Chain A
Amino acid sequence: MIELQDATKRVGNVIHIKPTNLTLQTGHFNVLLGATGSGKTSLIKMMAGLDPIASGKVLMDGQDVTRLNTQKRQISLVHQFFVNYPHMTVFDNIASPLRVAGMAQSEVEGRVEEAADLLQLRPMLKRRPHELSGGQQQRTALARAIAKESRAVFLDEPLANLDYKLREELREQLPDLFAGRGAVVVYATSEPEEALLLGGYTALMEDGRVTQFGPTADIYRNPENIAAARVFSDPPINVAGITVSNTQAQLAGGGGWTVTDMPDGEYMVAVRPHRVTPYRTSDADVELTGRVIVTELSGSDSSAHFRHGSDDWVSLAAGVHPYQVGEDHSFYMNPAHCRYFGQDGKRVA
């Protein structure tokens, strides 16, 4: 278990991490999700003890490790870059932390071979990193993290520099590789899709703070604020202003529906692109008419950016749809999928 208590990181006068409270449980797969520069790496370095923290505390299994050296924290870290000792064989690379820890040679061999088997590195054990492909190099780094008995494993965008196929393959294996090892696993990524595929728990990060933390599916379905809703959506979530008066919600660009339990006033409505379709999905659907600005076809999905009033909307629908750029099209949205936020960005309904 890792706990952050009001932990802050500052470099000079710039605050990189605002006071953060977070508890990550042993055995859980925890995803840090946020855009580049949102503080994922900073947070990892704080927990790993690579960067000093300005104020607050870091606890591991209840023990205060705020001032404890990195090597005494029993952790592993896998980077976005493939970091291996260049002049050591794959075997020696995986074995290096075990040897530094003074483990007996027979046990070292056993552990290295176990890790190598898990990551299909056995035929490469005698090779050097520069003789391996990018995927094999990163698997070596992962094997080193697995072989070492760690209380926490930090994976900082470990798949970012791999090609698409390898990324999918390794991503599928990752949760299983670390399951049952008695470590807190922390995985940083900037891709919402990756967080959803990995499951477990997700901490949303924005601008140096954790905006929401909980089981990944919960966060996806129930973002607490507009920032969380934005981070956890790719393509970006649709956000538009609405006016509620007498339980009637009205979009500025036309289209309205009935809402309950919301006092009169100005709100923001957020709805995911795949809930805005060029065809009717239910009787309750609201029709939005707008001029199509851009269309994209990705695989078997078509997306259309259209202008509705003064707002830009995105629709993402399965199948190929013949949009005409510059023409008006009708799109449909079921109000049941809408999330409502106040002007301050907090969730209302």
Chain B
Amino acid sequence: MRTENQKAWFFVLPVLALVAFNALVPMMTVVNYSVQETFGNNQFFWEGLGWFEQILRSDRFQAALGRQFLFTFLILIIEVPLGIIVALSMPRKGFWVPVCLVLMALPMLIPWNVVGSMWNIFTLPKIGLMGYFLNDVLGINYDMTQQPLSAWITVIVMDVWHWTSLVVLLCYAGLVSIPDAYYQAAKIDGASPWSVFRYIQLPKMKTVLTIAILLRFMDSFNIYTEPFVLTGGGPGNSTTLLSIDLVKIALGQFDLGPAAAMSLIYFAITLLVSWVFYTLMTKDDAQ
């Protein structure tokens, strides 16, 4: 016979308290702002869903969202395959393993705003090493402060430099956990390197790869510091990603209502896409 025991709820209370303080309360503040018009001296006027409608209809938001999706798409399509390739070509054992691991981890250890400054100085035309080299040595017309395309390429390359290591390290962890026996079996069967990748390495890497893709999606979708320091969202609005736009509205213009509504929409999109990703990638295991 089953006995009902309500004591279990007590054990959940600490978690509830913690979540309330670090997520629910701040989030409710944002919800509070998002449905009201805020004036000085904390005067509030009910606005309903007006801000949400305004944000969703605005060309400015749609453009920033488009840029954000393009940015994240490019990041994933470059960093994930590149990370897998680098992980595959790293040594599995021997003296070079720790050397490679440390070199791989280095970019991730650098503070984000330093990364932005580094790449800014590095790529400035005339002054920066890369800017000078491209313009004056190779004769390529490159100026990330003036040309949107140059700015985009620079932002993408910077992120690839900064974060591909994460994909590499996660994939590498997945790869080294594959017992030698699998490779031997493939060797005996006479499987090609592609088959080894397709039927052994990829399936065995799947779990870590799912995590890597999710992390890279969330991080790149919410990216702020590095492109802000590098280009400040320019030239024009060409590299103004969602978070940069959000900060402009919230802190530049101090439009708290629209900024709060935009935050919630932003959050909902991140959550929704993450969920879709996760469901699609783990669908196979749940059978």
**Chain A interface residues toward B at CB < 8 A:** 45, 48, 50, 70-72, 75-77, 79, 81, 83, 85-88, 96-97, 100-101
Residue in B closest to A97 when the chains form the complex, CB atoms: B189
* Interface-central residue, B185, B191, B195, by most chain A CB under 10 Å: B185
Q: Considering the complex, which residues of chain B in the window 144-171 have a beta carbon less than 8 Å from any beta carbon of chain A?
A: none
**A86: chain B residues within 8 A (beta carbon):** 200, 203-204
**B189: chain A residues within 8 A (beta carbon):** 71, 96-97, 100
Residue in B closest to A131 when the chains form the complex, CB atoms: B287
Q: How far is the CA of A83 from the CA of B204 in the complex (A)?
A: 12
Q: Considering the complex, which residues of chain B in the window 182-224 have a beta carbon less than 8 Å from any beta carbon of chain A?
A: 182, 184-185, 187-191, 195, 199-200, 203-204
Can you report 13 residue pairs joining A to B where beta carbons are below 8 Å apart?
A: A45-B184, A50-B187, A70-B188, A70-B190, A72-B190, A75-B188, A77-B184, A85-B200, A86-B200, A86-B204, A100-B190, A100-B191, A100-B195
**B185: chain A residues within 8 A (beta carbon):** 77, 79, 83
Q: How far is the CA of A77 from the CA of B185 in the complex (A)?
A: 7
Question: Chain B contact residues: over half helix, strand or loop, or mixed?
Answer: helix
Q: Is the CB of B199 within 8 A of A50?
A: no
**A76: chain B residues within 8 A (beta carbon):** 188
A75 to chain B, nearest CB (A): 6
A76 to chain B, nearest CB (A): 7
Q: Nearest 6 A-B pairs (CB), nearest first? A: A71-B190, A87-B203, A97-B189, A86-B203, A79-B181, A83-B181
**B182: chain A residues within 8 A (beta carbon):** 83
With contact pairs A85-B199, A88-B199 given, residues A70 and B181 touching in the complex (Cβ less than 8 Å): no
Residue in A closest to B190 when the chains form the complex, CB atoms: A71
Partner of A81, one of B181, B191, B195, B204: B181
Residue in B closest to A154 when the chains form the complex, CB atoms: B188
Cβ of B111 under 8 Å from chain A: no
Cβ of B179 under 8 Å from chain A: yes
Residue in B closest to A73 when the chains form the complex, CB atoms: B188
* Interface-central residue, B181, B188, B203, by most chain A CB under 10 Å: B188
Q: Is the CB of A83 within 8 A of B190?
A: no
Number of interface residues of B (CB under 8 A): 16
Question: Knowing that A70-B190, A83-B182, A97-B189 are A-B contacts, what are 14 other residue pairs whose CB atoms are under 8 Å apart, sorted by A's residue number?
Answer: A48-B184, A50-B184, A70-B187, A70-B188, A72-B190, A77-B184, A77-B185, A83-B179, A83-B181, A83-B185, A85-B200, A87-B284, A88-B199, A100-B191
**A50: chain B residues within 8 A (beta carbon):** 184, 187-188
**A77: chain B residues within 8 A (beta carbon):** 184-185, 188
Q: How far is the CA of A199 from the CA of B184 in the complex (A)?
A: 28
Q: How far is the CA of A71 from the CA of B187 in the complex (A)?
A: 6
B9 to chain A, nearest CB (A): 35
Q: How far is the CA of A48 from the CA of B179 in the complex (A)?
A: 18
Q: How far is the CA of A45 from the CA of B181 in the complex (A)?
A: 11
Q: How far is the CA of A250 from the CA of B58 in the complex (A)?
A: 106
With contact pairs A77-B185, A86-B203 given, residues A97 and B179 touching in the complex (Cβ less than 8 Å): no
Residue in B closest to A150 when the chains form the complex, CB atoms: B188
A140 to chain B, nearest CB (A): 12
**A72: chain B residues within 8 A (beta carbon):** 190
Residue in B closest to A77 when the chains form the complex, CB atoms: B188
**B203: chain A residues within 8 A (beta carbon):** 85-87
A77 to chain B, nearest CB (A): 5
**A97: chain B residues within 8 A (beta carbon):** 188-190
Q: How far is the CA of A48 from the CA of B195 in the complex (A)?
A: 21
Residue in A closest to B199 when the chains form the complex, CB atoms: A85
Q: How far is the CA of A79 from the CA of B189 in the complex (A)?
A: 14
Q: Is the CB of A71 within 8 A of B199?
A: no
Q: How far is the CA of A314 from the CA of B190 in the complex (A)?
A: 50
* Interface-central residue, A45, A50, A76, A87, by most chain B CB under 10 Å: A87
Q: How far is the CA of A101 from the CA of B190 in the complex (A)?
A: 8
**B191: chain A residues within 8 A (beta carbon):** 96, 100
Q: Considering the complex, which residues of chain B in the window 237-278 have a beta carbon less than 8 Å from any beta carbon of chain A?
A: none
Q: How far is the CA of A70 from the CA of B204 in the complex (A)?
A: 24
**B199: chain A residues within 8 A (beta carbon):** 85, 87-88, 96
Q: Is the CB of A48 within 8 A of B200?
A: no
Q: How far is the CA of A85 from the CA of B204 in the complex (A)?
A: 9
Q: How far is the CA of A81 from the CA of B184 in the complex (A)?
A: 12
Q: How far is the CA of A71 from the CA of B186 in the complex (A)?
A: 9
**A85: chain B residues within 8 A (beta carbon):** 199-200, 203
**B284: chain A residues within 8 A (beta carbon):** 87
* Interface-central residue, A48, A50, A75, A86, by most chain B CB under 10 Å: A86
Q: How far is the CA of A72 from the CA of B188 in the complex (A)?
A: 8
* Interface-central residue, A76, A79, A85, by most chain B CB under 10 Å: A85
**A87: chain B residues within 8 A (beta carbon):** 199, 203, 284
Residue in A closest to B183 when the chains form the complex, CB atoms: A50
Q: How far is the CA of A339 from the CA of B284 in the complex (A)?
A: 61
Q: How far is the CA of A72 from the CA of B190 in the complex (A)?
A: 8
**B187: chain A residues within 8 A (beta carbon):** 50, 70-71
Q: How far is the CA of A194 from the CA of B100 in the complex (A)?
A: 45
Q: How far is the CA of A3 from the CA of B6 in the complex (A)?
A: 71
Q: How far is the CA of A83 from the CA of B195 in the complex (A)?
A: 15
Q: How far is the CA of A31 from the CA of B203 in the complex (A)?
A: 34
Residue in A closest to B191 when the chains form the complex, CB atoms: A100
